[in-house]
Chains A and B, each alone.
Chain A
Amino acid sequence: MDRFYERLAEVLEEDKVGPDDVLASFEQWDSLTALSVVAMIDEDYGVNVSSEDLASTRTAGALEALVAAKRAP
């Protein structure tokens, strides 16, 4: 899922995003960026993450785990 972190970094305009990074700590993190992350996940992984899901997800790693769990059959 390296690609996941790369795409997250693009949306957040960061050089690098890692699993332990707290989403709300990024300068560009706001409701609209959150929506863009949701759209990115839908487009790239075919997974529907709700804004409630996202609100209860603290770190980039937790978000990756959520996407992985939702992708599991």
Chain B
Amino acid sequence: MQAYTLLTGASSGIGAAIARRLGGERALILGGRDASKLREATGLGDDGRHLLWPYDLRDVEGIQSSLTGLLEQHQATVDCFVHSAGVVKVMPMRLTEPAVVQEVMNVNVLSAMQILRTLLRKANHGALANVLFISSTYSIRGVKGQALYAASKGALDAMMQSLAVELAPAVRVNSVLPGGVRTPMSERAFTDPQHLEKMKQEYLLRLGEVDDIVNVVEFMLSAKAGWITGQKIVVDGGQTAH
């Protein structure tokens, strides 16, 4: 059986950058809504080494059967799970309709639960050893218009902490909390001159890049992080230090 690292949200932003970095050394299962976008964003998936899992995580009900099917079909197990899939909806609370709340919670939180439920069952042969959630500093600081997204990331972090206790010592479970780095999700903030100026003041070291996050993800998945579990690792150029 081949052990894989399962990465959700692999077709854009931080997820795609993680895929490109890790693809050389690890066999990956690349999760994303669209197979061609996954191939395009990562440059992976056609060499037989990596697997594609085209699946829309908004449909949480079907996750277990889809993922179990994929593992069985390829005689695969998953030893690392990185949940990078996420959607953001910036809006005042008065406009947060139940359907929008459900979509954000499904993709950002509930899908991770269903994936883990699958990976902790017999179908994965006890292979799981490392879980990493890509959270956000919005889970630990207040930002106008981000209540829904913040709630989803806060839920992810709280789940992480309890899971770290539940699954130790076999599985390490942690979150990485990135500050704002330039991705398609945050593009608007980086192209708005007023917002850009504000960010330059807030990020003490410099504006962040996707690689700043990927470096820490790589470390957290490595044996060098072997004594870290249940932690929220903030990577934000000092933004939350003041």
Interface residues, chain A, with chain B CB atoms under 8 Å away: 11, 13, 28, 31-33, 35-36, 38-39, 48, 50-52
The 7 closest A-B pairs by CB, nearest first: A32-B92, A32-B145, A36-B91, A50-B192, A51-B192, A35-B90, A36-B95
A13: which B residues are within 8 A, CB to CB? 94
> Cα distance A41–B225 when bound, in Å?
44
Interface residues, chain B, with chain A CB atoms under 8 Å away: 89-92, 94-95, 144-145, 188, 191-195
**Given A13-B94, A39-B91, A32:B192 Cβ within 8 A:** no
CB contact between A51 and one of B89, B94, B195 (< 8 Å): that residue:
B195
**Given A32-B144, A35-B145, A52:B193 Cβ within 8 A:** yes
> Cα distance A13–B92 when bound, in Å?
12
Closest to B92 in A: A32
Q: Is the CB of A51 within 8 A of B92?
A: no
> Cα distance A11–B90 when bound, in Å?
13
A35: which B residues are within 8 A, CB to CB? 90-91, 145
> Cα distance A28–B93 when bound, in Å?
12
Closest to A39 in B: B90
Q: Is the CB of B191 within 8 A of A50?
A: yes
Q: Is the CB of B90 within 8 A of A52?
A: no
> Cα distance A47–B188 when bound, in Å?
12
* 10 A-B pairs with C-beta separation under 8 A: A13-B94, A31-B144, A32-B91, A32-B92, A33-B92, A39-B89, A48-B188, A50-B188, A50-B193, A51-B194
A41 CB to nearest chain B CB (Å) = 12
Q: Is the CB of B95 within 8 A of A11?
A: yes
Q: Is the CB of A52 within 8 A of B194?
A: yes
> Cα distance A39–B94 when bound, in Å?
15
Closest to A10 in B: B95
A38 CB to nearest chain B CB (Å) = 8
B138 CB to nearest chain A CB (Å) = 15
> Cα distance A13–B95 when bound, in Å?
9
B188: which A residues are within 8 A, CB to CB? 38, 48, 50
Closest to A33 in B: B92
A38: which B residues are within 8 A, CB to CB? 188
B145: which A residues are within 8 A, CB to CB? 32, 35
B53 CB to nearest chain A CB (Å) = 27
> Cα distance A13–B97 when bound, in Å?
14
Other than the given A50-B192, A51-B195, 20 more pairs (CB < 8 A) read: A11-B95, A13-B94, A28-B94, A31-B144, A32-B91, A32-B144, A32-B145, A35-B90, A35-B91, A36-B91, A36-B92, A36-B95, A38-B188, A39-B90, A48-B188, A50-B188, A50-B191, A50-B193, A51-B192, A52-B192
A33: which B residues are within 8 A, CB to CB? 92
Closest to B193 in A: A52
A51 CB to nearest chain B CB (Å) = 5
> Cα distance A50–B191 when bound, in Å?
8
B94: which A residues are within 8 A, CB to CB? 13, 28
